[in-house]
Amino acid sequence: MFDTSRRKLLGAVGLGALASLAGCGGDSDGDQTPGARASQSTPEPASEPDVDSVAADPTDVPDPIERDHSETIEVTLTVEEVTAEVEPGVTVDYMTFDGQVPGPMLRVRQGDTVEFTLENAPENATLHNVDFHAVYGTGGGAVATTAAPGEENAMRFQARYPGAFIYHCAVPNMDYHISTGMFGMILVEPPEGLPEVDQEFYLGQHELYTSHDAGTPGHHSFDYEAMRAEEPTYVLLNGEKFAYAADNHGPMEVDVGDTARVYMVSGGPNLTSSFHPIGNVWSEAWPNGSVTTTPDEFVQTMSVPPGSCFVGTLDFEVPSRVKLVDHALTRVTRKGCLAEIDATGEEDESIYDPDFDGSTHEGPLYD
């Protein structure tokens, strides 16, 4: 935590936003620079939301698989097109799997057979489907599962190879569908399972292209030109600005001494995440969701390209608020990409002493 004088100093050298990142506040410092969309007309008034929130609960992770044999698993996902707030006072039209962003995390065992059905709710406006990167087969199932509003389509596949894989809508306007929320993760566990941890969390990063700058009150329409230029309005973890941070639905929670695994799916459609835990480190990092490879160790920032996943381990040795960000930090301070994990428990001043005043030193640290 920064004390007041240090915060002032950082502000004076232009690091106010980083001070905010390191401290408790989730919001930026209000120093908004007019963007490309600032000259656009006032948006329509905010729409009445269909749902309170589309933000997927990061603790909603299926249990680890204990089985020593393969099974047939039935999975149904329902496409729901909903209007919801991306931040207070700003509504957008989302397209979702089961009303949440990212879509539900699916978990199967390598060798399992999945009988999958996609339902397209009758009140929806357009075609949808699913491309699973865990599938050997045309389009990852996209052709077989394409369904018009009010219809459903099924396919069956065997999960032949292990890893964490994205699934996403793959109709012709797939970038638009992913940008409004249509992506999620399927974890195919190897037969021996994954190392035991105390907690597991599920996050999805994606970017949203809208008609007005982030924070402009009202209803934002989708902006194809902004998408063509790959200039998103919002970059988000779990579908909303600062969804799981203290300022919104609240941080994820662990105890000091816990080990947590974070599953992250990068929907894109276009941006590569530089995924970093502020005030911690990925003590194990499985690039590209490849959970059967030997993990990298003590990695600060992992590159997670769109259409891929990341699996990482965090150890919580002291009480702290860990901020999970895309370290392309403009996406945090200006575009909303932040999730937080609070670790509570015993202080250990030998590891970290925020109150140290330098008094044990007899002379200057540097001549």
Which residues contact Cu ion by CB under 5 A?
A: 128, 169, 177, 182
Is 219 labeled as ligand-binding? no
Is 177 labeled as ligand-binding? yes
* Tokens encoding 295: 């993990």
Cα separation, 297 vs 251, whole angstroms: 25
> In angstroms, how far is the first alpha carbon of the chain from the final one?
28
Cα separation, 218 vs 85, whole angstroms: 10
Is 212 labeled as ligand-binding? no
Task: Name the residue nearer to Cu ion (CB basis): 77 or 262.
Answer: 77
- Residue 270 beta carbon to Cu ion: minimum distance, rounded to whole angstroms: 17
- Residue 94 beta carbon to Cu ion: minimum distance, rounded to whole angstroms: 11
Task: Name the residue nearer to Cu ion (CB basis): 83 or 113.
Answer: 83
Is 169 labeled as ligand-binding? yes
| Strand partners for 163 | 188
- Residue 78 beta carbon to Cu ion: minimum distance, rounded to whole angstroms: 12
Is 133 labeled as ligand-binding? yes
Task: Name the residue nearer to Cu ion (CB basis): 107 or 128.
Answer: 128
Closest CA to 88 of 241, 223, 255: 241
- Residue 128 beta carbon to Cu ion: minimum distance, rounded to whole angstroms: 3
Cα separation, 87 vs 145, whole angstroms: 32
Task: Name the residue nearer to Cu ion (CB basis): 141 or 162.
Answer: 141
- Residue 134 beta carbon to Cu ion: minimum distance, rounded to whole angstroms: 18
**C-beta nearest to Cu ion: residue:** 169
At 138, give phi and psi (nearest 5°). -55, 125
- Residue 213 beta carbon to Cu ion: minimum distance, rounded to whole angstroms: 26
CA angle (199 as vertex; 243, 280 as ends), nearest 5? 70
Residue with tokens 């399972």, as numbered in its chain: 193
Residues ≥6 apart with Cβ < 8 Å to 45? 218, 219
Q: Which long-range contacts (CB under 8 A, 24 or more apart) does 67-74 make?
A: 67/109, 68/191, 70/109, 70/111, 70/112, 70/113, 71/109, 71/112, 71/113, 72/112, 72/113, 72/114, 72/115, 73/108, 73/112, 73/113, 73/114, 73/115, 74/114, 74/115, 74/117
Task: Name the residue nearer to Cu ion (CB basis): 133 or 177.
Answer: 177
Task: Name the residue nearer to Cu ion (CB basis): 181 or 287.
Answer: 181
DSSP 350: T
Task: Name the residue nearer to Cu ion (CB basis): 128 or 261.
Answer: 128
Task: Name the residue nearer to Cu ion (CB basis): 128 or 276.
Answer: 128
DSSP string, 14-44: T-HHHHHHHSS--S--S-PPP-TTTTSPPPB
Is 69 labeled as ligand-binding? no
Query: Coil, helix or strand for 289?
Result: helix
- Residue 38 beta carbon to Cu ion: minimum distance, rounded to whole angstroms: 30
Is 220 labeled as ligand-binding? no
- Residue 130 beta carbon to Cu ion: minimum distance, rounded to whole angstroms: 9
Q: Which segments are annotated as binding site for Cu cation?
A: 128, 133, 168-169, 177, 182, 327
Q: Which segments are annotated as binding site?
A: 128, 133, 168-169, 177, 182, 327
